[in-house]
Amino acid sequence: MAKALLSLGVGAQLLGDYERARRCYEECLPLARGAGDTQRAALVLSGLGLTLFYQGNLERARALSEESLVLFKERGDLRGIAAVLTNQGMMSLEQHDYEQATRLCEESLALRRSVGDKGGSAHTLTILGRVAFSQSNHQQASAYYQESLGLREVAGEKDGIAEALEGLAAVCASMREGSFAARLLGAAAMVREAAGFALTPVDRAFNERTGATVQAQLGREAFTAARDEGRHSTLEQALALARAVPSPLIDPTPSEPLPSLHELTTREVEVLRLVAQGLSDRSIAERLVISPRTVQGHVRSIFNKIHVTSRAAATRYALEHKLT
């Protein structure tokens, strides 16, 4: 009975049915304790704590999480300890306690790596990415998301792939690369739909903030078009899109001579550099994993902003501003 109820609770939680998950966990807990099954009791406490966290009961969630941690430590269960530490890191992040969130997740990651838990490590890396992003450390956030994505890709864990894509979308949005961010959001939605896993309330709020930022940058129509383009991609195309996120997009440094005078976006600077190298629209599209039509739109915008009418003139501009 306890085993079945635990499985039902986990399944309901993954589907986003937190009320049903809570009932299953609460029914399971006295059975596990009555049978002296401390391992299952620890798992139930951890799952129930996470469920209540998603339902907004943070105080009770923390108490249950601490109770489960005690049991896992008594058993010497490193995987269980690491899972609870990541959950606690998520709770600290929700309270904007970034220092504690980082400490908890780094401790969890070290444990998960020590026992070879690649899937768990990938999840913790995603949370660390969100902590770094919340502190505007976009380069570090991108590194965490990319590492997590690599582990998830090897394991074929689609829910984790979606989380990493959503994280990268947020980073792109923060760098005013709305089109890239929208396509990543669409690709993440495609992956989630294929896997059948629901967004948690925390993830949904995170993605809604990203979407609102991108829509403000692009306008509703352009945002919807770019997101739909990502939604209709394949998993392989989604992964290629994520791998194509260039480092200047993530963390532009003062050494990068961005022509702020004409307000070129980071993506437009990248397109301009490729134009100056003599690449065609199709070649640029293949290099950046975007459509030729999108490249054409970028080129028109560049021409308007730098007041030129030909690729030759644009190339001269790029040379003058040391963009090549």
For residue 56, what are its two tokens? 């907004």
CB 89 within 8 A of CB 131: yes
Residue 218, classed as helix, strand or coil, is: helix
Which CATH topology does 2-250 take? 1.25.40
- Residues with Cβ within 8 Å of 50's Cβ and at least 6 positions away in sequence, in order, are 13, 61, 65, 87
Q: What is the pLDDT of residues 81-123, one digit of tens each?
A: 999 999 999 999 999 899 999 999 999 999 999 999 999 999 9
What are φ and ψ of residue 177, in 5° steps? -105, 70
* Domain ranges for the chain: 2-250, 252-324
DSSP H or E run through 137:
none
What are the pLDDT tens digits along the chain (324 aa)? 999 999 999 999 999 999 999 999 999 999 999 999 999 999 999 999 999 999 999 999 999 999 999 999 999 999 999 999 999 999 999 998 999 999 999 999 999 999 999 999 999 999 999 999 998 888 899 999 999 999 998 888 888 999 999 999 999 988 888 888 999 999 999 999 888 888 999 999 999 999 999 999 889 999 999 999 999 999 999 998 888 876 544 444 433 444 443 577 777 888 888 887 778 888 888 778 788 888 898 898 888 888 888 887 788 787 777 665
Is there a common fold for 2-250 and 252-324?
A: no
What is the CATH number assigned to the segment(s) 252-324?
A: 1.10.10.10
What does the alpha-carbon distance between residue 50 and residue 29 come to, in Å, rounded to a whole number? 15
291-306: b (≥16 Cβ within 10 Å) or e: eeebbebbbebbbebb
89, 99, 133 from 96: Cα distances, Å: 10, 9, 12
Q: How far is CA 262 from the centre of its chain?
A: 31
Count CA atoms closer than 13 A to 280's CA, side-chain side.
3
State the Cα torsion 213-215-235-193 to the nearest 10°.
90
User: Of how many residues is the chain composed?
Assistant: 324
Whose tokens are 């049991």? That residue is 71
Q: What number of other Cβ atoms are within 10 A of residue 121's Cβ?
A: 22
Evaluate if pTM is beyond 0.85. no
237-273: b (≥16 Cβ within 10 Å) or e: bbbebbeebeebbbbeeeeeebbeeeebbbbbbbbbb
H helix runs in 35-57, sequence order: 38-54
For residue 101, what are its two tokens? 């969130």
- Residues with Cβ within 8 Å of 161's Cβ and at least 6 positions away in sequence, in order, are 149, 152, 153, 188, 191, 235, 238, 239
For residue 252, what are its two tokens? 């532009």
For residue 199, what are its two tokens? 């967004």
Looking at residue 250, what is its pLDDT?
43
